[in-house]
Structure formats: C-alpha cells, structure tokens
C-alpha cells in the first residue's frame, strides 16, 4: 500500500516498523462541543484506513486521544456554570454517540490528557534537562532555536518562519516561535502540581507524551486534518524528536477541508453543521458514505444536493443486496461458476487497487458500483450459490469502508403484515379491486408494495 507522506510530499510504500503491525496516532477532538462535519471527515478517513489495514491482515494499534483540558473547555465550563471535568464527560459521551452512528470503531486506546499528566510532566522535564525548554514565571516554553530542523513538515526553515511570525508581546519568551509546554495556573482554572508550580499542560505536548506512552518513540502513521500541520504537528515533531532522540513518525497523513456550499464552514456565516445536525435529515450511514466519495486529500463540498446524490448512490448498493436476498429462496440450486467467481474477484481487485493507491476510496466505491451494475444485469440468471457469493462480495467491500450494505428495515406491524397477506390472497382469487384497495391503504400508511416475479417486496416511504 502506498500513502502520500506530507513530510516528503510523495507517495511512499507503507513499511511498518514491526512486520505485520501498524501503529497509528490520530488526533482526536477537544471535547467541549458536538463534532462537526469537517471533524467527521478526519475521524472517518482514519477509521477507514485502520479497517483496510486490518482487512489486509495487519494488527493495527490505533490511538486517538481526547483533549479534555483546554482554554475552550474552561470557557465552556464557565458559560455553563459547571466544571471542566463535567464538560469533558458530557461531550466524550456525545462523541461516542455520533461515532457509533458513523460506525467508527473504538480505538485501541482513547487516552485523555488529564489521565496522563505524569507522562506529560516527564517529557517536559526531559526537554528541560536536555536544554530544549526553559521556565518563565511558572510557564515552561520549548526553545525553537535549539531545534535546527524545526519547520521541516511545512518545508520552511527557522529564518523563514521567524520573518513571518507575528510580533509577540510576551517578553518572557526568547523567540516569538517558542511555544508553551506547561502553563501556570490562573485563578479559578483546574491545575496539577508540577516541578514548576501549579498549572496545566500545553496542547502540543499532550499528543507527544501520549503517542510515546502508548505506541513508542517512533510510530508508523500520524494523522489529522491539514489545519493541524502547523503549528500542532510541527511542534509535536520538534518536542518528540528532541526528547526521544529519534524520528517521531514515518508517514504523515493529512485530509483536506470540507466547505459548505463552496464556502468555508463558519458559525458567523450560519453554515456550521455538526454531525448531530446532519443526522436529523440523513442517516449516519449516508453521511459516512458521502465522506468517502472523494479522495481524502481532495477538498470536499457539503451541500444538500451532494448529500442527496450520496444517498441515492448508497441506495443503489443497498437495493442490489436487498433484491439478491429477496430472490435467493426461489433461485435454482447450483455452484459458483468459475466465470462468475473471476468476475467478482476482478471487482475485489479493482477495489483493493484503489485503496492501495493512497486510500483512494472514490475509486474503491467506483469498483463497488461496477460490481452492482454487473450483478443487477445478471441477477435473474444466478443460482443460489452465486447469489450468496454476490451478496458476500458487496457486503464485504462495503464493510471495509465501514458502510452498511444492508438497509435496516423496521419490523412490520401485525396490521400491515395482515393486509399484505390479505392482498396476496385477493390477487390469488383474482379480486383485483380489493387488492388495489389494500395497496392504496398501505400506501397511506407509508408502505409501498412492488410486485415481482419472485413475490411481493415492500418498503417504507
């Protein structure tokens, strides 16, 4: 599998540090609110990467953190008249509600910053002892000048970064680029005891400490959205490599933004959508499918029109599987022909070729559509074994993407089932007037019937 590495700006073959195992650290949410559709893209992309690597036989150690102490969280707690801990607990719960809806697998570990204060302090102490950090009135800063390779992820050297840096009014910092590793406690804020006094960790050091603790000093893949490249991931590299004395990450992966109606998502523009908002109109399954219809490095546009298109595309796949399951009982016995098996395996190969090419989910989905098109054309000619093989193939590929290929149908009420049965009897007796009356009655109840050569199908409208 090839992955585009932000560091080298080219696709590179994935060569895990440990054969058969892949370590991934993906930046998780700051838990002060529901996550939005842009956040969802990152979560879904890296969940899909994990699923595909597991499909290929790798053991994946996947770590996704929760930032549960932060300026935004302190602000939200003050607004709601509660504690930061309560805000964290509330929105971690809300995260899992939406993540479960999107079929995002639980990480191997979901570490919280507040549960890893000791590891964070230890890394800061190491940086201080090695001369990369300094204390100023209870704050501790990373001294960027001591790290000659600082900025390599964004392909800028220190001089370029310094010339473009905003003037910093904090005279305690030796350089405007220096960033906080530890922040002295302010009145009313949560704090922890440290060698530098009461305080809390800076944002960047949290991820470095937790990645090192749970995955080791060097990891295979670090992922996040492109807005994290600078300063977050740039700072992670500097402090991790200076503390540990070795390369931090082999492959850096970053997904592109999502715009809304071709405009940057913004609360001020009124086009800011949480996943919870979107899920009121579209299913979580549709949202996930939509997020995978474009290559992860390509900017995406979010609109009702595009969501409706994704919904229709997903419906094509689900209708194919639904139809196959419907005709299966009445299909003739037989074995899977070599020709049919080869055709299905060809679709699988096209799917994997797309995924192996820098996780190109758009090409992978195109392969599924080609399979569906072929199956729909051939369905009436297939025997039981071939139908089952086709169902398994489509559901398997969809499962790799974390997409549900089978539409979740609600159970029919006893009244509806009785009416469908009565209509079948009426048609058998050629009482078409009563059959049509029942059809109309069911339609008024939101049930549409379809008469096929294999029997009667129903769906809710």
Going from the C-alpha of 237 to that of each of 129, 244, 389, 444, the distances in angstroms are 18, 10, 47, 62
Q: How far apart are CA 118 and CA 195, in angstroms?
A: 11
Is pLDDT above 90 for 321?
Answer: yes
Predicted pLDDT at 334: 97
Going from the C-alpha of 31 to that of each of 69, 98, 117, 447, the distances in angstroms are 9, 13, 17, 41
pTM greater than the 0.95 cutoff: no
Is pLDDT above 90 for 68?
Answer: yes
Instruction: Name the average pLDDT for the chain.
Output: 93
Is pLDDT above 70 for 281?
Answer: yes
Predicted pLDDT at 71: 93
Give percent of the chain above pLDDT 70: 95
Q: How far apart are CA 225 and CA 256, in angstroms?
A: 6
Is pLDDT above 90 for 241?
Answer: yes
List pLDDT tens digits, range 253-265.
Answer: 999 999 998 888 8
Q: Over range 375-401, report the average pLDDT.
A: 97
Give percent of the chain above pLDDT 90: 81
Predicted pLDDT at 53: 98
Predicted pLDDT at 193: 98
Tokens of 180: 């906080």
> Residues, the chain, total?
461
């Amino acid at each position: 599998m090839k992955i585009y590495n932000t560091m080298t700006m080219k696709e590179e073959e994935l060569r895990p540090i440990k054969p058969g195992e892949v370590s991934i650290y993906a930046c998780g949410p700051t838990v002060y609110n529901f996550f939005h559709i842009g956040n969802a893209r990152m979560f879904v992309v890296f969940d899909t990467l994990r699923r595909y690597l597991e499909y290929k036989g790798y053991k994946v150690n996947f770590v996704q953190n929760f930032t549960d102490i932060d300026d935004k969280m302190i602000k939200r707690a003050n607004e709601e008249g509660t504690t930061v801990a309560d805000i964290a607990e509330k929105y971690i719960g809300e995260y899992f509600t939406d993540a479960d809806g999107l079929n995002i697998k639980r990480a191997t570990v979901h570490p919280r910053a507040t549960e890893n204060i000791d590891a964070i302090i230890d890394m800061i102490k190491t940086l201080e002892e090695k001369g990369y950090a300094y204390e100023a009135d209870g704050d501790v800063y990373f001294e960027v000048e001591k790290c000659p390779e600082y900025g390599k992820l964004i392909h800028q050297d220190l001089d370029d970064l310094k010339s473009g840096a905003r003037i910093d009014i904090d005279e305690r910092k030796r350089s405007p680029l220096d960033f906080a590793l530890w922040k002295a406690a302010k009145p009313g804020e949560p704090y922890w005891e440290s060698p530098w006094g009461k305080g809390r960790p800076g944002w960047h050091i949290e991820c470095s400490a937790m990645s090192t603790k749970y995955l080791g000093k060097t990891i295979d893949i670090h992922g996040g959205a492109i807005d994290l490249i600078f300063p977050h991931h740039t700072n992670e590299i500097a402090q991790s490599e200076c503390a540990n004395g070795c390369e931090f990450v082999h492959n850096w992966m970053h997904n592109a933004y999502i715009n809304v109606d071709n405009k940057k998502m913004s609360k001020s523009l009124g086009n800011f959508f949480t996943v919870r908002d979107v899920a009121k109109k579209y299913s979580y399954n549709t949202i996930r499918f939509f997020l995978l219809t474009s290559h992860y490095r390509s900017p995406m546009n979010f609109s009702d029109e595009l969501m409706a298109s994704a919904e229709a595309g997903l419906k094509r796949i689900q209708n194919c599987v639904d139809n196959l399951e419907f005709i299966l009982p009445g299909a003739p016995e037989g074995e899977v022909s070599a020709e049919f098996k080869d055709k299905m395996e060809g679709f699988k190969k096209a799917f994997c070729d797309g995924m192996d090419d820098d996780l190109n989910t758009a090409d992978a989905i195109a392969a599924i559509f080609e399979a569906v098109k072929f199956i729909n054309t051939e369905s009436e000619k297939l025997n039981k074994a071939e139908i089952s093989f086709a169902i398994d193939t489509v559901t398997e590929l969809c499962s790799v993407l974390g997409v549900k290929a089978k539409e979740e149908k609600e159970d029919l009420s006893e009244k509806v089932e009785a009416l469908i049965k009565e209509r079948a009897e009426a048609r058998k007796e050629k009482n078409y007037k009563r059959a049509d009356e029942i059809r109309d009655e069911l339609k008024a109840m939101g049930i549409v019937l379809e008469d096929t050569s294999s029997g009667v199908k129903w769906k809710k409208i």
